[in-house]
C-alpha cells in the first residue's frame, strides 16, 4: 500500500472533506489525541499532525481517540481489493470477532490457509499493526459505542464487544481512555433491562437510500424480511443467537440506525459486519462515481445517482438459495416460493413485528427435505435438485459462501454445480461477497441498455469500468427499472435468469 501524502491529508483536513472520512486519521502530537478528518475541533497546525491509515495504528502509537468525532464510528477503509487477499480476509474475520473470546492468531491463519507468522508479517507490512492490535482496536471501538449509545449493562457490553471477561474489558477501556467505563456513560439509566439496542452505522455520503429500499423491497422473503415505511426489518440466526433487527436512515447524519434485539448481543460483531455488507456502507461513492462518469454511456446516470450502492446480502446462503429459486420465474413468484420454504423448513421465531415469523432454513434442513416436499412448495424438479446440491455443498463445507472468499474461485465453484450458470454465479459474487467487479455479462437488461449488444460485447465495453463493473451494472438496472416504472433491476434480472440458466 502506498504511503500517505501528509500534504494531501492536511489539505483534506482543512477542508473537512467527508470523502476522506475513514481513509486516514490525524494524530495531534501536542494533545495525544487522534481524530477523523471531519472532526469539528479547531484544526491543529501542520507541524503538530501525524497521519496514519488506521485507528489501530494511532492507538498502537499511544494516541487516544477523540471524544467529539468518535473515530470508532468512521466508515471502514475500502476498497478491500487494495489489500492482499490474505490481509483482506483476515480483516473481515477480525471484524466479525475471529480473535475475540477464544480465537487465536494461529486458528485464524489456519482458516485462511497460511501460517501464523506469515499472517503477522503481512498485516504488519500492509496495515502497520498486528492482528491482535487490530482486533483490540475493533473491540474497544464497539465497546465505546455500546457504552455511550445503549443502555446495556457493563457486563453485557463487555461480552457483546468480544471480551472474555469483565475484568479485561474494564482494564482495556481504562487503559485506552484513562477513565472507567461507567464514567463514559452520557446519562444515568433507570436500570430497567432493555429489549433492544440501537447503534449507528456510518458511511461516506452520498447514499441513495430510496434506491436501496426499492431494490430490497422487490426481494423480501415473506416471514423473514419486511420493508415498511422506509425501514428494513428481518429475523436473524447466528450460531445459537436468534432474534430480529431493523435498519433505517438517520435523518440527522450520514449514518444508518440499526435497532437490534438484545438476544443477538453475543453475536453483535458479526451482526454489524453483515449489516455493513448488506447496505454496502464501506464503499467510496466519490471515487466510484468519478471513475464511472468517464464513460459517456454511464455519465448522465452517475450524475443523477452518485450515491447508488450495491444491494448486498445479510446471509450469503439465503441469497444463494433465493437466486436459485428465482430462476426462470418472476421476482414476485420467487418471493412467494422463498416465503413458503421459510415457513415449511425454517424455525419459527418470536418478534414484536407483524410479518417477521420465521428464520430462513439452514442448509441441513434443505438437504434433508425430499424432492416431494419441495415440489409441494412450487419448486420445479430441476430447480429442486439444484437447490439441494447447493445446500449439500455448503453443509459439507465443499463450497464456502464466506464474504472473504476469493470471488473468482466462488464463481468457478458455483458454475460447477448442476443447474447454475455464469449469471447466477456473478450475481451471488455481487450480493453475497460484495465483489465490486462482478459483472453478469449475459444479462438481457444490461445488453438492452447498452444498445442490444451481445454478452461478449458488453464484457468488452465494461472493461473500462473496472474495478467497479458491479456498480456500472447496477446503474444500468436502475435506469432500466426507472424507464419501465418498475423496481430496481427486477425485470432485467428475471429475464436474464430465464435466458441464461440451464
∠ CA 150-152-154 to the nearest 5 degrees?
120
Peptide bond into 28 cis (omega under 30): no
Q: How far is CA 31 from CA 14, 35, 176, 413, in A?
A: 18, 11, 14, 53
- Cell numbers for 357, please give them: 415469523
| Catalytic choice (9, 21, 27, 35) | 35
Q: How far apart are CA 42 and CA 126, in angstroms?
A: 31
Instruction: Say if residues 274 and 265 touch (Cβ distance below 8 Å).
Output: no
35 is catalytic: yes
Q: How far apart are CA 200 and CA 299, in angstroms?
A: 32
Under DSSP, is residue 437 helix (H, G, I), strand (E, B) or coil?
Answer: coil
- Cell numbers for 262, please give them: 438484545
Q: How far apart are CA 296 and CA 424, in angstroms?
A: 28
106 is catalytic: no
Instruction: Say if residues 144 and 112 touch (Cβ distance below 8 Å).
Output: no
Q: How far is CA 427 from CA 406, 433, 501, in A?
A: 15, 10, 12
Q: Where are the alpha helices (DSSP H) in 76-130?
A: 85-95, 105-112, 116-127
| Catalytic choice (280, 315, 437, 443) | 443
Torsion angles phi and psi, residue 411, rounded to 5 = -60, -45
Q: How far apart are CA 9 and CA 436, in angstroms?
A: 26
Peptide bond into 467 cis (omega under 30): yes
Residue 240's Cβ-count burial label (10 Å; 0-12, 13-18, 19+) is exposed
DSSP 97: T
Closest Cα to residue 45, out of 64, 21, 26? 26
Dump strand ranges (E) for 349-499: none
Contacts of 298 (CB under 8 A, 6+ apart): 292, 465, 472, 475, 476
The residues assigned a catalytic role are 35, 443
Amino acid at each position: 500500500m502506498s504511503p500517505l501524502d501528509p500534504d494531501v491529508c492536511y489539505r483534506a483536513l482543512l477542508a473537512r472533506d467527508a470523502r476522506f472520512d475513514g481513509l486516514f486519521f490525524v494524530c495531534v502530537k501536542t494533545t495525544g489525541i487522534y481524530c477523523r478528518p471531519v472532526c469539528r475541533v479547531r484544526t491543529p497546525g501542520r507541524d503538530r499532525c501525524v497521519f496514519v491509515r488506521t485507528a489501530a495504528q494511532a492507538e498502537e502509537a499511544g494516541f487516544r481517540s477523540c471524544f467529539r468525532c468518535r473515530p470508532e464510528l468512521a466508515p471502514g477503509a475500502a476498497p478491500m481489493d487494495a489489500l492482499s487477499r490474505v490481509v483482506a480476509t483476515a480483516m473481515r474475520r477480525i471484524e466479525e470477532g475471529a480473535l475475540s473470546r477464544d480465537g487465536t492468531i494461529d486458528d485464524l491463519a489456519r482458516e485462511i490457509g497460511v501460517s501464523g507468522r506469515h499472517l503477522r508479517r503481512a498485516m504488519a507490512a500492509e496495515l502497520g499493526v498486528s492482528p491482535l492490535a487490530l482486533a483490540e482496536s475493533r473491540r474497544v471501538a464497539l465497546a465505546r459505542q455500546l457504552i455511550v449509545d445503549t443502555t446495556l449493562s457493563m457486563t453485557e457490553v463487555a461480552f457483546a464487544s468480544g471480551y472474555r471477561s469483565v475484568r479485561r474489558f474494564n482494564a482495556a477501556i481504562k487503559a485506552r481512555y484513562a477513565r472507567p467505563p461507567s464514567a463514559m456513560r452520557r446519562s444515568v439509566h433507570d436500570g430497567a433491562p432493555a429489549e433492544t439496542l440501537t447503534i449507528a452505522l456510518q458511511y461516506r455520503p452520498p447514499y441513495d437510500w430510496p434506491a436501496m429500499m426499492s431494490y430490497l423491497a422487490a426481494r423480501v422473503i415473506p416471514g423473514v424480511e419486511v420493508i415498511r415505511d422506509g425501514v428494513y426489518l428481518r429475523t436473524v440466526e447466528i450460531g445459537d443467537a436468534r432474534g430480529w433487527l431493523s435498519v433505517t436512515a438517520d435523518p440527522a447524519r450520514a449514518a444508518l440506525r440499526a435497532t437490534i434485539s438484545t438476544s443477538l448481543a453475543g453475536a453483535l460483531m458479526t451482526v454489524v459486519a453483515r449489516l455493513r455488507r448488506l447496505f454496502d456502507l464501506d464503499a467510496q461513492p466519490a471515487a466510484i462515481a468519478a471513475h464511472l462518469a468517464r464513460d459517456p454511456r454511464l455519465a448522465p446516470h452517475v450524475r443523477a445517482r452518485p450515491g447508488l450502492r450495491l444491494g448486498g446480502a445479510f446471509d450469503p446462503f439465503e441469497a444463494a438459495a433465493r437466486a436459485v429459486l428465482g430462476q426462470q420465474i418472476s421476482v414476485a413468484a420467487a418471493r412467494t416460493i422463498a416465503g413458503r420454504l421459510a415457513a415449511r423448513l425454517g424455525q419459527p421465531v418470536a418478534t414484536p413485528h407483524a410479518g417477521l415469523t420465521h428464520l430462513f432454513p439452514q442448509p441441513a434442513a434443505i438437504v434433508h427435505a425430499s424432492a416431494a416436499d419441495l415440489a409441494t412448495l412450487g419448486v420445479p424438479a430441476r430447480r429442486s435438485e439444484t437447490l439441494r446440491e447447493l445446500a449439500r455443498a455448503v453443509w459439507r463445507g465443499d463450497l464456502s459462501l464466506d464474504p472473504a472468499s476469493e470471488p473468482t474461485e466462488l464463481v468457478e465453484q458455483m458454475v460447477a454445480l448442476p443447474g447454475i450458470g455464469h449469471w447466477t454465479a456473478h450475481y451471488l459474487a455481487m450480493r453475497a461477497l460484495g465483489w465490486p467487479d462482478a459483472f453478469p455479462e449475459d444479462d438481457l437488461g444490461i445488453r438492452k441498455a447498452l444498445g442490444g449488444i451481445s454478452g461478449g460485447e458488453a464484457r468488452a465495453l465494461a472493461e473500462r469500468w473496472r474495478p467497479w463493473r458491479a456498480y456500472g451494472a447496477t446503474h444500468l438496472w436502475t435506469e432500466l427499472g426507472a424507464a419501465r416504472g418498475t423496481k430496481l433491476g427486477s425485470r432485467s434480472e428475471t429475464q436474464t435468469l430465464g435466458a441464461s440458466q440451464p
